[in-house]
Amino acid sequence: MTLRYALACLLLLGAAPGLAAGRIPYGGELRVAHTGSAEPLGDPTIADAPVEAALFSFLSRPVCRLDPSGAPRLALARDMTRPTSQTMRLSLPSLSLANTLARAWTRITGPEAPTPYRALLFPILGEARQLSANGTTVELPLSFPWPDMERALCHPALALPLTTVAPSLGPFSATAAKGLLEARLGYPEGRPYLDRVLLTPTDERGLARMWTAKQVQLALGALPEAGVLTGPALYATYLTFSPRRVPSDFRQAFESAIDRDDLTRLFVRAPAVSMPHLLPPALLPQAPRPRPGAPPASGARAVTLLYDGANEDQKAVAERIQVKLHDRGYKVALEPLPRPILRSRWAKGDFDLMLQSLLLPPVPGPALAVVLDAAGRKDLLGVELPLIGAVADPTARDARARDRAVALGPTVPIVPLYAQGLGMRAVPELGGLVLDAQGLPLLDGAYFVPAESAAPTGMPR
Amino acid sequence: MRLRTRLALAFALLALVPLAVVVPLTLNRLRATLSRELDARMEGATTSAQESLERSAERARRAVEELVESTTMEDLARDTHERPTRAIQADTAEGLMKSRGLTVLSLFDRQGITLSSGHLPARRGDPDKELFNVTEQKSPKPVPVRVSVRGDEGLRNVPALVTARPVDYGDLRLWAVGGVLLNEELAQHLARITQAEVSLRSGEAVVARAGSAAPPTVERVLPLGEAAEVRLVFSRAAALEAEQGVTGAFLLLAGFGLGFAVLLGLVMARRITRPVEALTEGARRVAEGARDVQVTAQASGEVGELVRAFNHMTSELRSTTERLVASERIAAWQEVARRLAHEIKNPLTPIQMSLETLLAAQSAQDARFPTLFRDSAAVVLEEVDRLRRIVDEFSRFARLPKPQLSPVDLGELAQSVLSLYATPPEGITLLPTLQTGVVARADRDQLTQVLVNLVKNAEEALKDKGGQVRVRVKGTETDAIVEVEDTGPGIPLEHRARIFEPYFTTKEGGTGLGLAIASRILQEHGGKLEVGGEPGEGARFSVVLPRAL
């Protein structure tokens, strides 16, 4: 017996170096350059552009994440169950987190933070206005069957910003140094492999320069070229119009004047795809309808187009719309606004034309809900969502949502334009970097491959 | 017009005539000078604007040529040749445009599709026919065109001066069409150098405007082909202001000159006319009856002689008048004495004859003495009574009391007087026509005496043949009138002038003082007694008094 044990120990000792060589190594600083805002955006409903949503995801934690297959994986929540078909129960790590989450979701649907993402919470009885935590549990009573609720709740707009006092909130925490994230050693799921992440804001040229100079290991917002990762194009941009303020033939005039493919190809930062229907092609891959002819000319008509002044793509698109509608007899005045004011004007219905960009969930049903709300047709949510939610099979349910999106497209005062995704470039040494179904990078499992075995393992291409 | 006024006007005219001649001439010369100066300034400014435009266009042409020959453009063409969809981006032209000081730049492919536009990035992918047409003109100089740019309220067409140059790389041909917009910035520059209001026009639309020109204005136009024109508006306000200033100064001068001339004229006229006016005043006073008038104004020459002659004349006139008045007074008293003596002498003769008859009868112891005595005594008493009446009348005439005035209704007064004649003598008819409410301020007793006298005279005039006596009371706006008219023989014209004199009478037994007293009473009342009527058809006496309101 003694010899046997001794031999076993010798065998294990002999195997240890091999085990050690195969283990993912800890440590290292990940230098990230990005084209997003230099200042972190504190409101998840505002930080919805791909790069900003990616940056925000480093400092926030949703209750769940959708893995690349689209299945929800718990993140902030410890458990997510359905005691009944119309009740969801979320278990959170602490009482304070449960209360914070309930308050955050209540605020999203409140008048002080108007956002179309409130449609994600529409199925909740009272639309989350009555939400309250019961201990560490938050119960979500649904007003109609809505099997996509779990997937909807994984949307980044419903995530909680990280705080340094809550170790369970994520693998990294912000430090006093600007743009520096430190690994959280006490993270319950295990400390991340990376020691720290350094975020550097720049523009596209700076991004290209830093990448060429090998000053960064991860570039967010890169143009799609060979070797550039692109997430699903779910950041959709629409032109919302007020039927009361624009002529009745506006949609026809617009559709006849604007070529989405040209618009996307020539004026929108890649990666981008034109979007002929209410949902992005990633969710609704259907050929576009033929473009209508121009309506009969009927004098000069003046409208004002509001757009997000911080969004360069929207500026270029707004100017293009101005040029093309000019040929249809429209005098389009452009008015750039800060994003919060733009959302406020949207909530009040105070606009003629407005460009809106929304990060849609990768699920057709919730995505359609957000789009309908953005179109100012919140009244349709109570009609359309129960019909979609009534379909039990997920594939059939998604198909129903797509059908409704196609059917509703010409009737709602919103014109889809294009959808964008996140362009990302990473050095080969960076392993374990994955994109979730939303197209956002996850740094939880990222690590640096040792020099002798540098291989892009675990990195989807 | 008075002499003094005429003299003042003459002086004013004397001052005005030279001004009226000089001012228009001077103003015309000034206007012409200012106009020439403004024309010269406008010509210079227009030339400057033209040269500035040409310089801008030339700079832009050189910038475009430098661009197409630059390595940047060569690299861009090569990249476009190799990667047609990626090399030229929406903002490519904007960067090239700004770095070369251009305000218009479009990069076209061979077909005229905009690959990138600096002035309107949103034009990318579209043809821009008007701008691309410049490539076919092959003009060595910049060409004026209209280009679309973004405005606050949408797109707007702005004129520009552009140059087109090709860029070839292999079989690839790009066109660079660049230049300068004729926009607000250029308008401001032109306004600065021309000091005019500059408007850049494309057709009827004003694309840009800068500077200002106060009206009235003069305009100059610089045509830039069919695409645009530059309109320079110059203000004539400064010239007009100078002209108005000079006119104002002239008018002020004229005003002062006129005032001074009038003043001087008045002073001179006063010096000249003062003795004349004093003589006029003296003559007027003399005409009014003043006798001690002496002109004291200082004068020399002929006027002084005239003053002295006038003073001598008034002195003579006064002494002559005094002598004449004394003579008249004596004559009047003589006349009164004569008449009074005549009146008194008339009764003395019957008295004397009666007394002589009585003395003769008493000497002759005539038996008829008692009868004669009685008859003679009656005659003497009658004549004495007549003498007393004459004396009483004379006394009354001499001591007529001052009237006590009070409002008297003449209609009512006439009615009370006529009531005394309720039973007129046979053959005489009283026909009153009395208007009530005709009031005059009068002494009721004296006025009653006047009316009684007039009615009594009328009755006496009719006592032989009878007739009608008409008494009328009427009022005018200013006068209260009582007329007494009879149908008797009337008053001969030759007597009319004397009937109001004392002791003038044509009646048997009349004292000749009735009408004199009546006339004097009315004079004391501020009124008058008038006589009228045609001789042989009757007499009419009118009592006229001021009417009391």
* A147-175 residue pLDDT tens: 988 889 889 888 887 654 555 566 787 77
pLDDT for the residue A428: 85
Instruction: Give every CB contact of residue B393 below 8 A, 6+ residues apart in sequence.
Output: B511, B513
pLDDT for the residue A457: 40
* A34-73 residue pLDDT tens: 888 777 667 778 778 888 888 888 877 888 888 888 888 8
Contact B125 A322 (CB under 8 A): no
Residue pair B546/B440 in contact (Cβ under 8 Å)? The answer is: yes
Architecture category of domain A24-66+154-231+422-461 in CATH: 3-Layer(aba) Sandwich (3.40)
Reduced 3-state DSSP string for chain A: CHHHHHHHHHHHHHHHHHHHHHCCCCCCEEEEEECCCCCCCCCCCCCCCHHHHHHHHHCEECCEEECCCCCEEECCCCEEEEEECCEEEEECCCHHHHHHHHHHHHHHCCCCCCCHHHHHHCCECCCCCCCCEECCEEEEEECCCCCCHHHHHCCHHHCEECCCCCHHHCCEEECCCCCEEEECCCCCCCCCCCCEEEEEECCHHHHHHHHHCCCCCEEECCCCCCCCEECCCCEEEEEEECCCCCCCCHHHHHHHHCCHHHHHHHHCCCCEEECCCCCCCCCCCCCCCCCCCCCCCCCCEEEEEEEECCCHHHHHHHHHHHHHHHCCCEEEEEEEECHHHHHHHHHHCCCCEEEEEEECCCCHHHHHHHHHHHCCCHHHHHHHHHHHHCCCCHHHHHHHHHHHHHHHCCCCCEEEEEEECCEEEECCCEECCEECCCCCEECCCCEECCHHHCCCCCCCC
Residue of B nearest to A268 (CA): B90
Contacts with B, A 48-67, CB within 8 Å: none
Residue of A nearest to B116 (CA): A266
pLDDT for the residue A296: 79
pLDDT for the residue A458: 37
Q: H or E segment at B427?
A: none
Write the class of the CATH domain B406-546: alpha beta
Say which of A262, A302, A334 has its CB closest to residue B125: A262
Contact B90 A316 (CB under 8 A): yes
Q: Does B124 touch chain A (CB under 8 A)?
A: yes
pLDDT for the residue B409: 92
Q: Categorize the per-residue pLDDT at A306 as very low, low, confident or very high, splitting at 50, 70 and 90.
A: very high
Say which of A267, A322, A330 has its CB closest to residue B90: A267
Contact A331 B155 (CB under 8 A): yes
pTM of the shown model:
0.64
Tokens describing residue A274 = 């034109």
Q: How many CB pairs under 8 A join A and B?
A: 43
For residue A322, give how far its alpha carbon lies from the nearest alpha carbon of chain B (Å): 7
Tokens describing residue A14 = 């002999």
Task: Tell me which chain B residues have a C-beta less than 8 angstroms from the C-beta of A319.
Answer: 120-122, 150
Q: Which fold has domain A235-420?
A: Dipeptide-binding Protein; domain 3 (3.10.105)
Contact A266 B153 (CB under 8 A): no
pLDDT for the residue A7: 67
Domain boundaries, chain B: 291-399, 406-546
pLDDT for the residue A16: 53
Residue of B nearest to A312 (CA): B91
Greatest alpha-carbon pair distance for chain B in Å reads 197
Say which of A262, A265, A333 has its CB closest to residue B153: A333
Q: Does A320 touch chain B (CB under 8 A)?
A: yes
Contact B122 A320 (CB under 8 A): yes
Q: Does B432 touch chain A (CB under 8 A)?
A: no
Terminus-to-terminus CA distance in chain B, angstroms?
Answer: 39
pLDDT for the residue B265: 80
pLDDT for the residue B471: 93
Averaged pLDDT for residues A203-223: 86
| Cα separation values, A276 from A5, A167, A245, A434, Å | 70, 44, 24, 29
Task: Tell me which chain A residues have a C-beta less than 8 angstroms from the C-beta of B106.
Answer: none
pLDDT tens, residue order, chain B (549 aa): 777 778 778 887 887 788 788 878 888 888 888 888 888 888 888 888 888 888 888 888 888 888 888 888 888 888 887 776 677 877 888 888 888 888 889 888 888 888 888 888 888 888 888 888 888 887 778 888 888 888 777 888 888 888 888 888 878 888 888 888 887 888 888 888 888 888 887 777 777 788 888 878 888 888 877 667 888 888 888 878 887 888 888 888 878 878 888 888 888 877 778 888 888 888 888 887 777 788 888 878 888 888 888 888 888 888 887 788 777 777 767 777 777 777 777 788 888 888 888 888 888 888 888 888 888 888 889 888 888 888 887 777 776 778 888 999 999 999 888 888 878 888 899 899 988 889 999 988 889 889 988 998 898 888 888 899 999 999 988 999 999 999 998 888 888 878 888 777 777 767 777 888 888 889 888 899 999 888 888 999 999 999 887
Instruction: Write the CATH number of the domain with boundaries A76-102+110-148.
Output: 3.30.1360
CB atoms within 10 A of CB B534: 11
pLDDT for the residue B332: 67
Q: Categorize the per-residue pLDDT at A369 as very low, low, confident or very high, splitting at 50, 70 and 90.
A: very high
| In chain B, % of residues over pLDDT 70 | 98
Task: Tell me which chain A residues have a C-beta less than 8 angstroms from the C-beta of B90.
Answer: 266-267, 316
pLDDT for the residue A413: 92
Q: Which fold has domain B291-399?
A: Helix Hairpins (1.10.287)
pLDDT for the residue B232: 85
* B47-90 residue pLDDT tens: 888 888 888 888 888 888 888 888 888 888 888 877 766 778 77
* B257-300 residue pLDDT tens: 788 888 888 888 777 788 888 888 888 888 877 777 888 888 78
ipTM of the complex as predicted = 0.74
Q: How far apart are CA B329 and CA B331, in angstroms?
A: 5
For residue B123, give how far its alpha carbon lies from the nearest alpha carbon of chain A (Å): 7
Q: Does this chain's domain B291-399 share its CATH topology with B406-546? A: no
Nearest to A358 by CA among A131, A37, A118: A118
Domain boundaries, chain A: 24-66+154-231+422-461, 76-102+110-148, 235-420
* Mean pLDDT for chain B overall: 84
CA dihedral B330, B336, B341, B342 (to 10 degrees): 120
Contact A323 B90 (CB under 8 A): no
pLDDT for the residue A459: 39
* B28-43 residue pLDDT tens: 888 888 888 888 888 8
Q: Does A316 touch chain B (CB under 8 A)?
A: yes
Q: Does B123 touch chain A (CB under 8 A)?
A: yes
Buried b (16+ CB within 10 A) or exposed e, A354-368: bbbbbbbbbbbbbbb
Contact A323 B148 (CB under 8 A): yes
For residue A434, give how far its alpha carbon lies from the nearest alpha carbon of chain B (Å): 29
Q: How far apart are CA A336 and CA A334, in angstroms?
A: 7
More confident residue, A110 or B441: B441
Angle in degrees, CA A372, A378, A380, rounded to 5: 75
Contact B125 A316 (CB under 8 A): no
